[in-house]
Chains A and B, each alone.
Chain A
Amino acid sequence: MNTFSAPEIDYSAIAPILIIFVAALVSVMVEAFIPRASRRFIQMLITYGAIISAGFWLFTIRDTRVITAGGSLAIDGPAIMMQGTILVLALLGAMLISERSLDSLGDSFAPRASALPGSVDEREFTSRGFTQTEIWTLFLFAVTGMLSFVAANDLLFMFIALEIMSLPLYLMVGMARRRRLLSQEAALKYFVLGAFASAFFIFGAALVYGYAGTISLPGISDALSVKTGEGALVLIGLGMLLIGLFFKIGAVPFHQWTPDVYQGAPTPITGFMGAAVKVAAFGALMRLLYVGFSGLRWDWEIIVWIVAILSMLVGSLIAITQSDIKRMLAYSAVAQSGFILVGVATATAAGIAAVLFYLIAYGFVTIGAFAVVSMVRDASGEATHLSKWAGLGKKSPMVATVFSIFLLSLAGIPLTSGFVIKFSVFAAAITAGQTWLVIVAVAASVVAAFFYVRVIVVMFFSAPTENTASVAIPSAFTTIALAASATITVVLGVIPQPVIEMVANAGIFIR
């Protein structure tokens, strides 16, 4: 019989994950034992406290490079970089979730998600001013999953982290206060398709385990270098693992859920999800490909190329036809996934740094853009139809200008972060000898620029009508989140050097 030896755990290195996780558990207890009146305040205290303290801890251990917990977790440069990004995005996301002055009824979430839409119960809950506080618990669990996802160094832990991240998000998507039918429908679609994709992921993991005899990524890499034969098993397995991850990224052809979920979800959740899930999923994807399957580079490279090209073209082309601002941003997210995949396909140190930089800058733009979307309202709630944005630039020049900054950044115009990140990804791809891919990407970004600029034209160069929405006055929460993301977007575009050095120092994925 084998003797069991307990794995060594470097608690300091995984403390950021543990802090958020413990906060999530405490938050469950708060829901159970604290009276309703003081719950919201305490939940916010726990959430902000946990995110900020995890962030500080992460800052103090930023030079740690260690594989711990029996090989399950790799806390290396890219992992710490992405964990930091996720924590900052979570902080901004939490601010959007805290907002309650935009809507006359309160925050963005249904007072009781279980009450039937339009029922007496629902009106009763609303008129009594009940607020949903479970959202904070789910939020903390989702952040726990994301922090673990980017550090997961074996297939089992990656799967568990994927689920810890996804399951709370499915629920959060279904909790909108207004347009609840849309919100519930989005949750149903996201859940069914998400569960389908994660089933592919775990079956792929089983096949890879059958090939390699181990589930740890470095072990798989070793097996690939010594074994010959049984190639079909590992190739099908890798393909299924990639289906699971491409789904989370929202890359074509696994993007079908993206527009529906982005549109149906409460806008603060859309912003947080659009930004942070992308960081987490790309982190896991890069670790899987670079650490586990670097031996199959020639096989996965082609898959990543095809998915990147499809995402860029399909995302950009369909976004042109959209008349709903949230759906347009969703297709733009699909296209941006394609641009990031161009960087992933390079598999060089410069490529990794470019992708990290892209994820950071893109995250802030996404949160900021959805913060603006949550502020533009009419009598029925958020006015997401593009026709209602006509003339917004004359009615509220300040907000329209800030939104234009985000759109210009997404389009990749100089002096915004979007130009620098696109440039660094494309430069890395050209250095890696993939000039043809960059040509496709540049063509796609020209198409994409069209629909971003169209929104700016609609806002500034058409006269306001009686249909034009107005901008609600936000509280300090949204104002700070919006100001921070707009400032970062411009600063990264003008003086990107510090962040470029930071991501270059993050180095490569250790094994």
Chain B
Amino acid sequence: MNPTNYVILASVLFSIGAIGVLVRRNAIIVFMSVELMLNAANLAFVAFARMNGNLDGQTVAFFVMVVAAAEVVVGLAIIVTVFRTRQSASIDEPNLLKY
């Protein structure tokens, strides 16, 4: 199968993730959308590695997975703290900081 299709799929997944971050209100869903964007990048890297015929892209994919895991640790810590304080995981509700 033509590897270009995987690149197109990766772009579609990335766009879904980006739209998810912009329109969803629940912090956890927003966060999952960011993870989707990172994994779309992984797919693109692996597909391009196949097309370019070298292994750099596959190596990068491993590192991005590790970074995504680290981001989960930090992100969930922050989201859970905010949830415990406000009893809500809505992104829109914390609005004390303005002007």
Contact = CB atoms under 8 A, between A and B. Distances in A.
Contacts of B18: 196, 199
Contact of A214 (B31, B34, B56, B75): B56
Contacts of B91: 188, 192
Interface string B37-71: 11011001101100110101101100110010011
B1 interface: no
B31 A210 contact: no
A478 interface: no
B52 A213 contact: yes
Contact of B44 (A155, A174, A207, A213): A207
Nearest to A138: B74
Contacts of A322: 99
B67 A160 contact: yes
A196 B17 CA distance: 9
A207 B45 CA distance: 8
Contacts of A155: 60
Contact of B38 (A114, A116, A202): A202
Contacts of B21: 192, 196
B51 A205 contact: no
B7 A210 contact: yes
B97 A192 contact: no
Contact of A163 (B57, B67, B94): B67
A289 B20 CA distance: 30
Contacts, number: 128
Nearest to B73: A167
Nearest to B52: A213
State the main secondary structure of chain B at its contact with A: helix
Nearest to A204: B41
Contacts of B40: 203
B31 A192 contact: yes
Contacts of A264: 97
Nearest to B17: A199
Contact of A202 (B30, B41, B95, B99): B41
Interface residues of A, number: 46
Given A174-B81, A195-B31, A184 B94 contact: yes
Contacts of A181: 85, 94, 96
Interface string A157-200: 00110010001001100100000111011111101100110011
A206 B64 CA distance: 11
Contact of B78 (A188, A210, A214): A188
Contact of B54 (A116, A196, A202, A213): A213
A263 B97 contact: yes
B21 to A, nearest CB: 5
Nearest to A162: B67
A187 B78 contact: yes
B38 A199 contact: yes
Contacts of A156: 56, 59-60, 63
A149 to B, nearest CB: 14
Given A185-B96, A187-B78, A203-B37, A163 B71 contact: yes
Contacts of A186: 97
B48 A195 contact: no
13 contacts: A156-B60, A167-B74, A170-B78, A184-B78, A185-B82, A185-B96, A187-B81, A191-B78, A196-B34, A199-B41, A206-B45, A206-B60, A321-B99
Given A181-B94, A196-B34, A205-B41, 13 more contacts: A159-B67, A182-B96, A184-B82, A185-B96, A191-B78, A192-B21, A196-B21, A202-B41, A210-B7, A210-B48, A213-B52, A214-B56, A259-B97
Interface of A: 113-114, 116-117, 155-156, 159-160, 163, 167, 170-171, 174, 180-182, 184-189, 191-192, 195-196, 199-200, 202-203, 205-207, 209-210, 213-215, 259-260, 263-264, 321-323, 327
Interface of B: 7, 10, 14, 17-18, 21, 27, 30-31, 34, 37-38, 40-41, 44-45, 47-48, 51-52, 54, 56-57, 59-60, 63-64, 67, 70-71, 74-75, 77-79, 81-82, 84-85, 91, 94-99
